[in-house]
Amino acid sequence: MNINQKDLIKHLSLIDIKIALPAIYVFGDSFVDNGNNKAILGNKDTIGEGYLPLGIDFDGKPTGRVTNGRIGVDFIATVAGLPYPPPIMGMSQIDRKRIQTGVNYASGSSGLLPQNGHFLHKNVINFFQQVDLFENTTMEDLKSKFDSCKGFTQYLSKSLFFIHHAGNDLGLTFEAEMAKKYSIDKYAKLFINEFSKQLKIYNDLLPSLLKNLQSTLSGSKFVLGDIYKVFQDVFEMPES
C-alpha cells in the first residue's frame, strides 16, 4: 500500500510541525539498505535481499530492502516530501552528479567494524567505506552544482544524515565467540540472556556519547531512535 505524504503526516500527528529537509543521506546495515547489496552481489546474494517474499507489498517485487514493503527511512522521506534516497550502487555517474535530495549508502550485514559482514561476502560495504563513498560522490560531485561553498555547506547542514549501525557488530562478534564454546541449546539460552545485557549496556552509553558529540560539534543536532525499545514494547504489548 502506498501511503502519501498528507495521510502519513496526519497519522503521525505532525500537521502543525514544519519539516524542511533538502536531502536525506543514509548509512547503515540491512535495516536501511534499499538496494546496494542487490546491485553488488547480484546472483551471488547470500543475504536474500533480492528474492521474494521481500518486496511483495512494494510494487510486488524485491527492491533490495529486507522487508515486505518500505523501510523507516522511506517514511521519513515521505513526511519530508522527498523521494526515497536511491542506492548509490544503482546510480549512473550522471545521476550521482545531479541528484540533490539524498543518497543511500547502506549495505546489509555491514557493521561499524570493518571486518563484520565480510563472512557473507567480501564486497559488503562497511561504515568507513560508506563514508568514503559519500566523500567521493556527494562531497565531490554535487559541490559543483552550488554557486558557492557557503551554499553547499548550508545545504549539508540542513540535511538529515541517518545512521543505523552496531547491531551486527554486537551480534556477530558475540555469536562468533559463543558458538565456539557451547552446544546449541546452551548457546541459545546464553545468546538471549547475555546479548540482551550487551544491548542494554550499549543503549545506556550511546545517549551520553551523542550528547558529548553535539556539544563538541558546533551547530550539530543528534537525534537517537531507540529501536530496541520499539521492539521491546511490541513484544511486551503486542495488542497495542
C-alpha distance from residue 67 to each of 30, 116, 152 (Å): 9, 22, 34
Q: Among 136, 114, 134, which Cα is nearest to 125's?
A: 114
pLDDT cut 70: percent of the chain above it? 76
What value does the CA radius of gyration of the chain take, rounded to a whole number of Å? 19
pLDDT per residue over 159-183, tens digit each?
999 999 877 777 666 666 666 666 6
pLDDT per residue over 112-163, tens digit each?
877 666 656 678 899 999 999 999 988 888 888 898 999 999 999 999 999 9
pLDDT at 26 over 90: yes
Q: Among 190, 166, 168, which Cα is nearest to 179's?
A: 190
Angstrom distance (rounded) from CA 141 to CA 135: 9
pLDDT at 36 over 80: yes
Angstrom distance (rounded) from CA 203 to CA 194: 14
**Packing angle between helix 227-236 and helix 184-216, nearest 10 degrees?**
130
* Every domain of the chain and the residues it spans: 5-165, 182-240
Angstrom distance (rounded) from CA 50 to CA 187: 30
Q: Given this model, what pLDDT does residue 127 score?
A: 92
Most confident of 40-49, 64-73, 116-125, 194-203: 64-73
Q: Given this model, what pLDDT does residue 87 score?
A: 96
Mean pLDDT of 58-83: 88
pTM: 0.82
